[in-house]
Copies of this chain bind each other. A is one copy, B any other.
Amino acid sequence: MKLWHGADYNYEQWLDRPEVLNQDFAAMKAANCNVMTVGVFSWANYEPREGEFHFEWMDTLLDRLHRQGMKAILATPSGARPAWLSTAYPEVLRVDVLGHRAHHSGRHNHCRTSPIYREKAAQLNDRLAERYGNHPALALWHVSNEYNGGSCYCGPCLTAFRSWLQERYKTLEVLNQKWWTTFWSHRFSSWDEIYPDDSSVNGMMLDWARFTSEQTIDFYRAETAPLRRRTPQVPITTNFHGPHVGLDYFAFAKEVDVVSWDNYPTWHTQESDTITAVKTAFLHDLYRSMKGKSFLMMESTPSQTNWQGISPLKRPGMHKLASIQAIAHGSNSVQYFQWRQSRGGEEKFHGAVLSHQSSMNTRTFQDVVQVGHELQNLDSVYEAAVESEVALVTDFENKWAIDLAQLPQSTDKRYEEELQLPYEVLWKRGISTDIVDTRPRDWGRFKLILAPMLYLVREDLADQWKPWVEQGGTLVLTYLSGYVDDNDLCFEGGAPGPLSSLAGLRVEETDALSPQMVQSFHYRGNRFPARHYADLILPTAECETVAVYDHEFYSGRPVLTCRKLGKGSVWYLATRSDSAFWSAFLADRCADAGVAPAVPWPIPEGVSVRRRGNTIFVMNFHPHEVAFSIGSGGEVIKLSGYGFQVLQAP
């Protein structure tokens, strides 16, 4: 079996219970598992006291996995440190903005700058690489766990930030200019005066977010150095999550060999599971797009979580369907957190393949067995590509800058929701979408680019896109775009800044609409709502007005424009609308741009069709049966509730 099937395995919690371990391995076999993630939180087992190392238990574990024909994803254990380390070296603990050093507690909360933490982690990683680098079970390094961008204000972090700023700006003169510090007398006369706790200096806070992300990636590099040196042949990943955890994952993805992520959809908590299916699909596509190739679903729950407030049982079929969805979007694995429930601690009620009941006669275990069987038949999709003609553009820095901005309409910024809106329309039409950032790339692969709410625009972006549009590309821009440059400085001339020349317009002013304020417009004879933001734009002569506002003193002024540029066109939507609008609008844009869905037949609501290589996945996210005709021959496909079918492309 090529695809991976496995789980996070907390073997070390049961070292004194050989009968439990024996049951584990028997169950892995029964469930057709071929990989286990091990050692994720094992630092205290490896090094129970400073400098005293114990690897025998891991030797035994890896040997046993190998004997059973399984692979190991071996973690480095830096996600949580032993208590002795926090006690001996308090500097490994983060300091909050008021100066309080954290107590030893929780996980994922070490200072990422601390030299001693870097040294201790690298030392242990070096021993792991030395000892297990050639172990036949070792398939992948899993570096640390769910890194995040939480702030630390300790001395070394502040010093590192100031050095990072010096590197970026060279002189205080430039920094003061870029941060616009004459405002409120915020000018800095010494690097040491800089303390990143002033929300009024937006530029500083954006740089602090950047620095925190980069410093985390730098920590990751320090962790991986001994692995790269000793085991250049073993690929490396770290499990992403979120996605909004304070890290620029697009940048981070460049550093890993394979992207992996932890997937926890909240099935059965929305009025329809389709909503959850779309959100989950979005994230699969986001993580796949980061390296433009297959990824790993490193974690998912085979039953419930214990941290989402209310996590209903998965209805029959849902676990298999959700696993197949991951594969359909480009995952090479279905992996679980966790293999077996702990008896104590915060995650003792997190779902697992084996619950406290410790039985294989459970519904959950049988669901996992079925996934194991399904994956066996999908060798053909292993490493097969998912191809997209549409790009949806987003930047983590853009998100950070929007979050920092105080706008005339700050109550309903909703950046993430606005990305979902066009994505959902494409999902329903069976059109695959790549979700990409604005760093230079080969845009030529795409026929249609959607870039909603691109508030922060890097200098070179218009230059990247202009030739692509001229060659025939269709670009869609919206309100709240082109406000600031990458120093969070407003563009002189106003929005949409450098995108103005592409769109052929300027924004004179933007109405801020409260939820009660009514605005609308007509597109192709249908009326659509306009909400929250309403640009009053000044189009140039090259820019065609496609739709106008219905109400208020700006009734009749353009709300949707199109500017032809070479063989392509640039669309500008001056307000926020709804799903129905995007559905009508994107139907036309896809037609213009020649974007084709995965299959030629109409797809019923709630059904998702994805193509990966030559395999077509047809998935029913309804709890009830759905039957529909595919192809002109009248052939009918019937899917049970939460059922799916795998077809071969003609």
A233 in the interface (beta carbon within 8 A)? no
Q: Is the CB–CB distance between A514 and B310 below 8 Å?
A: yes
Contact B189 A490 (CB under 8 A): no
Which B residues are CB-close (under 8 A) to A271?
516
Verify B184–A356 contact, CB threshold 8 A. Answer: no
- Residue on B with the closest CB to A516? B271
Does B180 contact A356, Cβ atoms closer than 8 Å? Answer: no
A517 CB–B CB distance under 8 Å: yes
- Smallest beta-carbon distance A97→chain B, Å: 8
The residue on B at minimum CB distance from A350 is B406
Q: Which residues 358-382 of A sit at the B interface, judged by CB distance below 8 A?
A: 358-359, 362-364
Interchain CB contact (< 8 A) of A84 among B107, B184, B190: B190
Is A198's CB within 8 Å of the partner chain B?
A: yes
Bitwise, A507-524 to B at CB < 8 A (1) or not (0) is: 111111110110000000
Contact yes or no, B42 A343, CB < 8 A: no
The reply to whether B305 and A408 form a contact with Cβ atoms under 8 Å apart is: yes
A316 adjacent to chain B (CB < 8 Å): yes
Considering the complex, give the chain B residue whose CB is closest to the CB of A16.
Answer: B177
Q: Chain B residues with Cβ under 8 A from A357's Cβ?
A: 493-494, 506-508
Q: How far is the CA of A180 from the CA of B192 in the complex (A)?
A: 45
Complex Cα distance, B305 from A43, in Å, reads: 53
Contact of A41 with B by CB under 8 A: yes
A270 to chain B, nearest CB (A): 10
Interface check A409, CB cutoff 8 A = yes
Report the Cα distance A268→B203, complex, angstroms. Answer: 32
B103:A195 contact, CB within 8 angstroms? yes
Chain A residues numbered 166-224 whose CB sits less than 8 Å from any CB in chain B: 178-190, 192-195, 197-203
Residues on B with C-beta less than 8 A from A99 are 100
Q: Does A544 contact B (CB under 8 A)?
A: no
- Interface pair A80/B509, CB less than 8 Å apart: no
A80 near B494: Cβ-Cβ < 8 Å: no
Q: When each residue 337-366 of chain A gets 1 if its CB lies under 8 Å from chain B and 0 otherwise, what string results?
A: 000011111111101000111110011100
Interface hit among A44-52, A64-72, A446-454, A578-586:
A44-52
A410 at the interface (CB under 8 A from B): yes
- Whether A590 sits at the interface, judged by CB under 8 Å, is no
Chain B residues contacting A180 (CB-CB under 8 Å) are 13, 342-345, 348
Would you call A491 an interface residue if the criterion is a C-beta within 8 Å of the partner chain's C-beta atoms?
A: yes
Name A408's contact: one of B184, B349, B489 (CB within 8 Å): B349
**A309 part of interface (Cβ distance < 8 Å):** yes
For A10, list chain B residues within 8 Å (CB). 182-183
The answer on a CB contact under 8 Å between A312 and B513 is: yes
A591 within 8 A of B: no
Scoring A residues 297 to 311 as 1 if CB is less than 8 Å from chain B, else 0, what string do you get?
000000111110111
Q: State whether A511 touches B312 (Cβ < 8 A).
A: yes
Q: In whole angstroms, how far apart are the Cα atoms of A45 and B309 in the complex?
A: 51
Q: A195-B103, A346-B202 are known contacts. Are A411 and B356 too (CB-CB below 8 A)?
A: no
Bound-complex Cα distance A495 to B13 (A):
20
A541 in the interface (beta carbon within 8 A)? no
Q: Which residues of B contact A359 (CB under 8 A)?
A: 508
A487 interface residue per 8 A CB criterion: yes
B307 near A406 with CB under 8 A, answer yes
Residue of B nearest to A510 (CB): B313
Distance (whole angstroms) from the CB of A514 to the closest CB of chain B = 5
Q: Answer whether residue A12 sits at the interface, using C-beta atoms and an 8 A cutoff.
A: yes
A248 contacts partner chain B, Cβ-Cβ < 8 Å: no
Known A-B contacts A83-B186, A84-B193; A306 and B408 likewise in contact (beta carbons under 8 Å):
yes
User: Does A81 lie at the interface of the complex (its beta carbon under 8 Å from any beta carbon of B)?
Assistant: yes
- Is there an interface contact between B186 and A407, defined as CB atoms closer than 8 Å? no
- 1/0 per position for A105-134, CB-CB distance to B under 8 A? 111000000000000000000000000000
Q: Report the bound CA distance from A197 to B45 in whole Å.
A: 22
Q: What would be 11 A-B contacts, judged by CB atoms less than 8 Å apart? A: A44-B185, A80-B186, A180-B344, A202-B345, A304-B512, A305-B408, A306-B408, A310-B412, A313-B510, A356-B491, A359-B508
